[in-house]
Structures are given as C-alpha cells and as structure tokens.
Chain A
Amino acid sequence: MQTLSRPQDQAPGGALGIRRAVQADLAAVIDLDRRITGIGKPDYWEDVFERYGERRLDERFFLVAESALPGAARFLGFAVGEVRTWEFGSEPSGWLFAISVEPEIRLRGVGARLFQAMSDRFRLAGIHTMRTMVARDNALHMAFFRGEGMMAGPYLQLEMDLT
C-alpha cells in the first residue's frame, strides 16, 4: 500500500488547517467529545490515538482541524478513519468512524473539510469506497453525510438483545 506523506490542507487565505493529531491535541478531543456526547472517555481516546495516531499511518488517519491563525491556532474539530480489509467480506474500504466539530462553528464548512481531507487520504491509499455508520435517530450526522454525497451502502447493520 502506498506510503503517504503528511499533507497540510490549507483553506484559501489560510483560515483553516487540517493535520494529523498529535498527543497535545488529545485534551481538546476528549473535551469536545465529552461536551457533545455527555460522556467523558479519556481512556478510549488515548487508545484511539495510540492506534490511529501513531501506528500504520499509511492507512490510519486521526485528523484535527484548526484555525490557522499565526500563533493562535484554535482547535475546531477532528475526524478519525482507517482502511479496513475483508471485514464482513468487504474489499478494502475506508471507514470514517468519528467526526466532530465545535458546536458554535458548525455550518461553516469545517466538517466538510475534515470529510474531504479524510476521503483524499483514502484515495491516496488506493481506496475506492468510503463508509461510515450512523444511528438512525442522529439527524445531524445523517443529514451531514447525505449532504456530502454518501448514500446507503450494500450492508445492513443487524443486532439482537443479549439480556
């Protein structure tokens, strides 16, 4: 699989930058996730960073978006994805499994830029299909992914109660 460089995505005028997450970003990621989900998961995000921020970087991507103001970069959001192969019989595909943007700056294209950055990295890795999974009642994420052009895929998520 092609080894990736680490491109910096700069918005016109340098207003928004997207880069790989570093350890110092974790506090902001944990805080944003806690505010949005109501659940603090520091161990989970430490584990995610170890797996997706430091290993197999040609097919795992932990991205952060920040305002690219000189000397005053501000954390705006993050996205995590990876290439998965042969799960459920699927050929290699890119899975975007986390994306979050600061609530007060939503609807300004930050999520779209993170989505585009992730899909660009999947393409560079030779992947032709990007997937995600959304809770049926998560209207925000459903509308976002639909708006980015995603449509229902060939799989159905099934589940059963084990209690």
Chain B
Amino acid sequence: MHVSSRLAIYALLELAEEPDRQISVSEIGEKYGVSAHHLAKVMHTLGRAGLVRSIRGVGGGYVFCGNPRRTTLLDVITLFESTAPGADDNDNAATETEAGRALAQVMHEIDDIARATFGAITLSTMLKQMHRRRAPRGETATTSPS
C-alpha cells in the first residue's frame, strides 16, 4: 500500500471517529509522525473526493463529510494508486515468457484477494475493529460509530 493511501486511511479514521470535531493537519501529522506538508496533499485529494471538508479560520482543520458505512478502504486507496489487475506489471518482456505469465497469474490472484478484502471493509468496520481492541479483556466494546 502506498504511503499516501495509508495516511489517507489514518486521517479518515481520525476524522470519522469524531465527526463533530475539527482536527488540524498538524495534529494528525504529529500523531502519525508525518510531515504536515505531505499530509496536506493527502487531505486535498480527500477533499476533492468529497470525504473531508476544510474549515478555515481560527481553530480550523478538517471534518469528515463522507459516509463511513459506504466508504471502503478500496475507495480510499484508488484515490492514490491504481488497483487494476497487473498495475505493477512493469516487466513487459518477462510476461511474454511462460515463467512470466505463470508468475503474473499468481500475482493477479493475490491482487484479486487484496481488492476483494479492501473493498469489503468500510471505515465503519475499521472503527468497530479499533473499538473492539480498546475493550477490556472479557468485555465487548459497545461503542457504535456512526
């Protein structure tokens, strides 16, 4: 997964968990150890996709404006990288060989599984997973994100 995709998912989870709170790029960047400059580019892309909205002025930042139940990890990843089969096939000469085609078939199988997995996990599901991890041992987390 590209770094930008990963940062985008982190940022969206931060914002979606507290949809009424404005969170600044610097605050997210400090938590995840990334530069505000890099993160600002990521947030700009998320804004163009309609997932976040910037709030200007004193105390400004970003708020989540997407639907966490409808936005999947694949939706986010495809904003920053290609997930089409064979997107990473740069070795065109090798794919003309039997070995190249056999390996490409295996890689496509892995890509298909990855795409299906990312496409099945919504931001809401990710937040539930995070909350389950926070629940004390033997208890079930009851917090339900929107």
Q: Which residues of A approach B to under 8 Å, CB–CB?
A: 136-137, 139, 142-143, 145-147, 149, 152
Contact = CB atoms under 8 A, between A and B. Distances in A.
Contact of B128 (A137, A145, A149): A149
B112 A147 contact: no
Nearest to A156: B113
27 contacts: A136-B112, A136-B113, A136-B116, A137-B116, A139-B119, A139-B120, A142-B116, A142-B119, A142-B120, A143-B72, A143-B120, A143-B121, A143-B122, A143-B125, A145-B120, A146-B120, A146-B121, A146-B122, A146-B125, A147-B122, A147-B124, A147-B125, A147-B128, A149-B128, A149-B129, A149-B132, A152-B117
Interface in B94-146: 112-113, 116-117, 119-122, 124-125, 128-129, 132
Contacts of A142: 116, 119-120
Majority DSSP secondary structure for residues of B touching A: helix
A143 B116 CA distance: 10
Bin chain B's interface residue count: 10 to 19
